[in-house]
Amino acid sequence: MRSVAGALTVAVLAGGRSSEHDVSLSSGAAIREGLIAGGHGVVSIEIERDGTWRSAGELVSARPGAGLLGADVAFPALHGPFGEDGSVQGLLETLDVPYVGAGVAASALCMDKVLFKRLMSAVALPQVAYVGAREPRWRAAREQTLAEVRALGLPVFVKPAHLGSSVGIVKVSEPSAVVQALERAFAHDELAIVEASGPGIEVECGVLGLPRGDAMASEPGEISFPGEFYDYEAKYTPGGMDLTVPARISPAARSRVMELAVETFVQTGCEGLARVDFFVDRDRVLVNELNTMPGFTPTSVYAKLMSASGIPYPELLDRLCRLAIERHEQRRRRRH
């Protein structure tokens, strides 16, 4: 492996089997351009929709412990299941390749929105009320599930528990629409989450670093959009949302957002990077969710927040790759 101080060869993984395949390709393209602008070499790996890995049109073969196409570090620019959920992270661990972002356990935890919220409850971090609904229980005890959902009030948001980018989300404002919304969620996932409506405005905060005390929070950014909620089109259509940095919130709320962003990052065991999403109502701040691999498309928020915090895009990518190598070397020094 090359010296951490020199230029790196980075394997950028993009595509994948999830419904966020195209978003991942856009993220991967932007990451490749940023790495090259920063003086690094890039090996592109596209994961096709059927899970096939190709580089320069050729099939990629992997042997445990043998690395990945000679790269110093991997950047898995993958979103959703089969990429952001710990599966690819586990493969990269087996190959003995440093990789950007959260490890296996943290990736799996944060991909599961219900499990994530249970952890937030266990460590007493503030969040909106929610109900987790598994399809087998829904089929066997529908009225019980509906009673739990009714206790949240209206409106509520019904989501597949393991998808990102607002795929499959439905805003429900009428009691009669709950059943249809849950059925839609179950078409994507056996586990659904129903969340009470968050008060106030949506604010996002990036985190960069390792969770041993040097993780930093970005300047918080305020999200505004024309529709009823921050859906897929608003996230990925140019002009579909507006990001205001710094967020138009009180100094107390700003400090609380940044504090909670790092605390959520640490409690979940994340590493490298994350974007933590909040609802802010005056000085009241609620954690919504954490994304372990935020989008890196031209319209994505994470890089914009870091740029507004004094870290330009090529430098951000460089730091993420070097953090990955640092973590890898630290773990190698431990006995297993």
Range list of β-strands (E), 135-196: 156-160, 170-172, 191-196
Output the pLDDT for position 3. 41
Q: Is 24 helix (H, G, I), strand (E, B) or coil?
A: helix
The answer to whether 236 is a known catalytic residue is yes
Q: Which of 32, 195, 295, 319 is catalytic?
A: 295
Report the sign of the C-alpha dihedral through residues 11, 16, 19, 25, in that order: positive
Q: CB atoms < 10 A from the CB of 103, how many?
A: 20
Which residues partner with 134 through β-bridges? Answer: 191
User: Average pLDDT over the chain, rounded to whole?
Assistant: 92
Q: Contact, 28 vs 15, CB < 8 A?
A: yes
The answer to whether 259 is a known catalytic residue is no
Which residues partner with 275 through β-bridges? Answer: 206, 291
The answer to whether 219 is a known catalytic residue is no
The answer to whether 331 is a known catalytic residue is no
Could you read off the pLDDT of 244-268 as tens digits, one per residue?
999 999 999 999 999 999 999 999 9
CA distances from 154 to 97, 128, 151, 175, 232 (A): 47, 13, 9, 8, 22
Q: Which of 275, 309, 313, 327 is catalytic?
A: 275
| Length of the chain as a residue count | 336
Percent of the chain residues past pLDDT 70, beyond the cut: 92
The answer to whether 58 is a known catalytic residue is no
Q: Which of 46, 202, 231, 289 is catalytic?
A: 289
Joined together, the tokens standing for residue 263 give 């605390």
Q: Which of 165, 288, 300, 309 is catalytic?
A: 165
The answer to whether 135 is a known catalytic residue is no
Average pLDDT over residues 57-78: 96
Phi, psi of 297 (to 5 degrees): -75, 170
The answer to whether 54 is a known catalytic residue is no
Put simply, whether the predicted model's pTM sits higher than 0.75 gets the answer yes
CATH T-level topology, domain 130-196: Dna Ligase; domain 1 (3.30.1490)
Residue 240: is its pLDDT beyond 70? no
Could you read off the pLDDT of 194-212 as tens digits, one per residue?
999 999 999 999 999 998 7
Output the pLDDT for position 163. 80
What are the domain boundaries of the chain? 9-100, 108-126+199-314, 130-196
The answer to whether 190 is a known catalytic residue is no
CATH T-level topology, domain 9-100: Rossmann fold (3.40.50)
Q: Which CATH superfamily is domain 108-126+199-314 in?
A: ATP-grasp fold, B domain (3.30.470.20)
